[in-house]
Every structure is written in structure tokens, then in C-alpha cells.
Amino acid sequence: MNENVVLTPERILEVTEDVLRRYGLAKATVVDVARALDVSHGSVYRHFPSKASLREAVAKRWLERVSAPLAKIVEGSEPAPVKVDRWLRALFAAKQKRYLEDPEMFATYLTLAQEACKTVNGHKACLTDQLALILSDGVNQGDFQIADVDATARAIFDAVTRFHHPAHADEWKDPQLPARIDSLIALLLRGIEAPRQR
């Protein structure tokens, strides 16, 4: 073992993902992670005090990979209706890509996410906050007419659940999915559109 290795939480999480991919969630242990890092399991526990905290950190890291690119859309300069459309499509694509390209790891992360309720709730709050920022910009720009931006953001997030929630993953192979997404986004945007001055 090489105890002179400089361990960072990020490095441990990278290797943990590899170990999960290799052994699966049920069989992967902290000892397996330590072995892959060529350190003692005590070295891993110095950064993550329990197996549960390590698993929660892995789930959080995965969810942040979804929310970070969405934040860039929020910060963009496009009109709010364009941003809502782009943001929703990017959210759906991020979740669907992970499911379709790496279903075994997707299942692992689904289990991890279910275990880490606080992390998942934080992720949902982050996403609805991002959407609320776009909606607020749209109200300020005169594109949207919305009485309660936060409640509307939550309602839109709930309305599109079928296209991003892992419980619906088996439906994402449906060839009609793109057309259904188009219809729902168009409907949502019409519902919050500000009346045009004549």
C-alpha cells in the first residue's frame, strides 16, 4: 500500500464510481475502493466517515453533473421562452442519456439517490430554483405573466416528471417521446405567455 498517495475527496469519488461499475452496488465495499486507490480503508474513512456518507457523496456528484450544465443555460442571454425550452430539453437529455447509454450505472445511481433523500431533495430544489430564475427573467422582460414564480416553477417541474424522473425510465425508449416533449413544452409556454399588446 502506498500511504504517501495524496488523497482528495474528488479522487476517492472517481475511483468509487469505477468500483461501483465493476462490482455493482450490492458487492462494492470501502475496502474495494481503498484497494483500487492503493491505500488503507482508514485513509478513505478520513474523508468519508462511513460507507453511507461515501455513497451519498457519489449520488450528489452524479446529480451535480446534471444540474451544472443547466445552470449555464440559466445564465445565458437568450430570451426567457428560449431558455425554458433549452433548459427542459437539456434536463430530459441528461437523464435519458445516462439511462440509455449506461443502464447498469443508472440503476446503481437510482438506488444511491433513493438512499440519499436529503441529497435528492436538494437536487430538486436546485433545479426548481434554476427554473424560477428563468421564469422571473421572463416576467421582467414582459414575456411571461406569472403571479407566483416559485409555485409555477414547481408546477412545471412536476408536469414534466415523466421525461426526467427515473421511475419513468422505461418509457424513454418510446419513439413518440420527442413529439410528446415538443407538445408539452409548447403547451407550458403558452400557459405562461404574457398577453401581447394590440
**Where do the structural domains in the chain lie, given as residue ranges?**
9-49, 58-192
Question: What is the third-level CATH fold of 58-192?
Answer: Tetracycline Repressor; domain 2 (1.10.357)
Q: What is the pLDDT of residue 114?
A: 75
**Residue 151: which of 128, 130, 122 has the closest Cα?**
128
Neighbouring C-beta atoms of residue 191, cutoff 10 Å: 14
State how far the Cα of 142 lies from the Cα of 136, in Å rounded to an integer: 10
- The predicted model scores a pTM of 0.84
Query: pLDDT exceeding 90 applies to what percent of the chain?
Result: 60
- Angstrom CA distances, 80 to 183, 188, 195, stand at 18, 13, 15
3-class SS of residue 27: coil
Highest mean pLDDT among 50-59, 111-120, 160-169, 181-190: 181-190
Query: CA-CA-CA-CA torsion for 89, 91, 94, 99, nearest 10 degrees?
Result: -100
pLDDT band at 4 (very low <50, low <70, confident <90, very high): low
H/E stretch holding 124: helix 117-141
**97-119 pLDDT, tens digit each:** 888 887 777 777 778 777 777 88
Please give the single-letter amino acid code of residue 70: L
9-49 belongs to which homologous superfamily? Homeodomain-like (1.10.10.60)
- One-character DSSP codes across the chain: --TTS---HHHHHHHHHHHHHHH-TTT--HHHHHHHHTS-HHHHHHHSSSHHHHHHHHHHHHHHHHHHHHHHHHHS-S-HHHHHHHHHHHHHHHHHHHHHH-HHHHHHHHHHHHH-HHHHHHHHHHHHHHHHHHHHHHHHHTSB--S-HHHHHHHHHHHTGGGT-GGGGGGGG-TTHHHHHHHHHHHHHHHHBPPPP-
- Angstrom CA distances, 55 to 33, 41, 169, 185, stand at 12, 15, 22, 35
Determine the average pLDDT of the residues in 88-101.
91
Does the pLDDT of residue 60 top 90, yes or no?
Answer: no
